[in-house]
Amino acid sequence: MVQISEVKGNTRENRTAAHTHIKGLGLRSDGYAETTGAGFVGQIAAREACGVVVDLIKSKKMSGRAVLLAGGPGTGKTALALAVSHELGTKVPFCPIVGSEIYSTEVKKTEALMENFRRAIGLRVRETKEVYEGEVTELTPEEAENPLGGYGKTISHLLIGLKSYRGTKKLRLDPSIYEAIQKERVTVGDVIYIEANTGACKRVGRSDAYATEFDLEAEEYVPIPKGDVHKKKEIVQDVTLHDLDIANARPQGGQDIMSMMGQLMKPKKTEITDKLRQEINKVVNRYIDQNIAELVPGVLFIDEVHMLDIECFTYLNRALESTISPIVILASNRGRCTIRGTEDIIAAHGIPPDLLARILIIPTVAYTADEVKTIVRVRAKTEGLAITEPALEKISEHGVKVSLRYALQLLTPASILARVGGKKEIDVDEVGECEDLFIDARRSARIVDEGDNFIS
């Protein structure tokens, strides 16, 4: 009997999140917004304003400034911030946090705020390194007698053959590099590069000469490197200032038992001193002056900004004036309210007037009935749900009368009820059943009020 086992594909199922359908701001080349574009519906004025902010960030004329997205709940403030991050690309750091995140028992709130500031500032380091790059044609470890005696043998050196378009080269490498090659699982036919100075080895992929082979593992095929095997190569590394802070703040302990125990006994989070950050800033500025590195100001998005207190706002004022600071995007769904940390100071959006004076405010407005319907249709398509037109109309009515979020939350339960009932599409009956099973906030409050009245 020949046993046949099922081999599953390596495609990963991604979870459909709240803003999965947002792919960008949906702007034309002239900067004006389409009614529907890149998964975004409506909010034309806000999207165009965010487009101007994106252009300012890309031209590096926005550093140290802040933007406030102000509007009611469910009007697309977080979606706008996410769309801005999509427009900027993956190379620009984007750090989203919520106002209440900074209140921790482990570190001060100002430290938590500065930590996120540093996460949102990138540093692009360009370094020219001598490398050996090519397809592995030979991989032979040479053994020698163990100097400590016994029957075992040790590897004295490694012979490796590398082939590129220009020619081949045979290298005699240190045994320590053989360990790195084993970790990378390098075999004959792989394309690798080895740094001459550090001996670091990196497997790039399998040579495309072997692309016709059948392999169960997901393999990435790459072309044979051009040029000579031994060459100078410019390597670009993207790090954030927070990465540099952590790397320098963590002491490198020895291998003895006491230093290992000391590392285990340390608290999970340690505060980074302002002195250390100033020293790192000096080194960064020196690299920038020498054209070794380039500063990439990213975006720090603080949602529910009214949750910050008066101390955080004063610290935010100082941080924005720093020579090294990211673009700060704030979001709030409050009108006039008391500033947290004070008892009687009432301000717009819960933000002090001196900070509001240096902020560009972008308003978001409530969606129209047609826009709500389009959003529900886009969301159903993103989640892969089939829905009839009458059911779409009914869910859209809830989006106008109750809230957009409640309407979107009804989609998935309705699809499950339709599947249980043997239907391929969501119909009005399933939507009605979901309304009875999952009530909205107003109905819920009414039930509780009626219960209280009955008890009294």
SS3 per-residue string spanning the chain: CCCCCCCCCCCCCCCCCCCCCCCCCCECCCCCECCEECCEECCHHHHHHHHHHHHHHHCCCCCCCEEEEECCCCCCHHHHHHHHHHHHCCCCCEEEEEHHHHCCCCCCHHHHHHHHHHHCEEEEEEEEEEEEEEEEEEEEEEEEECCCCCCCEEEEEEEEEEECCCCEEEEEECHHHHHHHHHCCCCCCEEEEEECCCCCEEEEEEEHHHCCCCCCCCCCEECCCCCCCEEEEEEEEEEEHHHHHHHHHCCCCCCCHHHHHHHHHCCCCCCCCHHHHHHHHHHHHHHHHCCCEEEEECEEEEECHHHCEHHHHHHHHHHHCCCCCCEEEEEECCCEEECECCCCCEEECCCCHHHHCCEEEEECCCCCHHHHHHHHHHHHHHCCCCECHHHHHHHHHHHHHCCHHHHHHCHHHHHHHHHHCCCCCECHHHHHHHHHHCCCHHHHHHHHHHHHHHHC
CA separation for the pair 375, 170 (Å, rounded): 61
CATH class of the region 36-120+298-363: alpha beta
> Residues of CATH 2.40.50.360 domain(s) within the chain?
124-288
pLDDT value for 362: 92
Q: How many CA atoms lie within 13 A of 347 on its CB side?
A: 21
Please identify every stretch of the chain with a pLDDT value under 70, giving residue numbers as ranges: 1-16, 64, 146-152, 212-219, 250-270, 452-456
> Residues of CATH 3.40.50.300 domain(s) within the chain?
36-120+298-363
pLDDT value for 12: 45
- Pick from 437, 319, 375, 351: nearest CA to 99: 351
| In the block, residue with structure tokens 């806000």 | 46
CATH of domain 124-288: 2.40.50.360
Q: What is each CA distance from 444 to 406, 432, 441, in whole angstroms? A: 13, 17, 5
pLDDT value for 332: 92
pLDDT value for 11: 47
pLDDT value for 152: 64
> Residues of CATH 1.10.8.60 domain(s) within the chain?
369-455
pTM (whole model) above 0.75: no
| In the block, residue with structure tokens 């702007």 | 27
Q: How many other C-beta atoms lie within 10 A of the C-beta of residue 24? A: 19
| In the block, residue with structure tokens 């340690």 | 270
pLDDT value for 330: 92
Q: How many other C-beta atoms lie within 10 A of the C-beta of residue 111? A: 18
pLDDT value for 361: 92
pLDDT value for 363: 93
- Pick from 348, 372, 370, 371: nearest CA to 361: 348
CA separation for the pair 114, 67 (Å, rounded): 18
Summarised one tens digit per residue, pLDDT across range 235-255 is 788 888 888 888 887 655 544
Summarised one tens digit per residue, pLDDT across range 90-127 is 788 888 899 888 887 778 888 888 889 889 888 888 87
CATH 3.90.730.10 fits 369-455, yes or no: no
- Pick from 253, 242, 244, 250: nearest CA to 270: 250
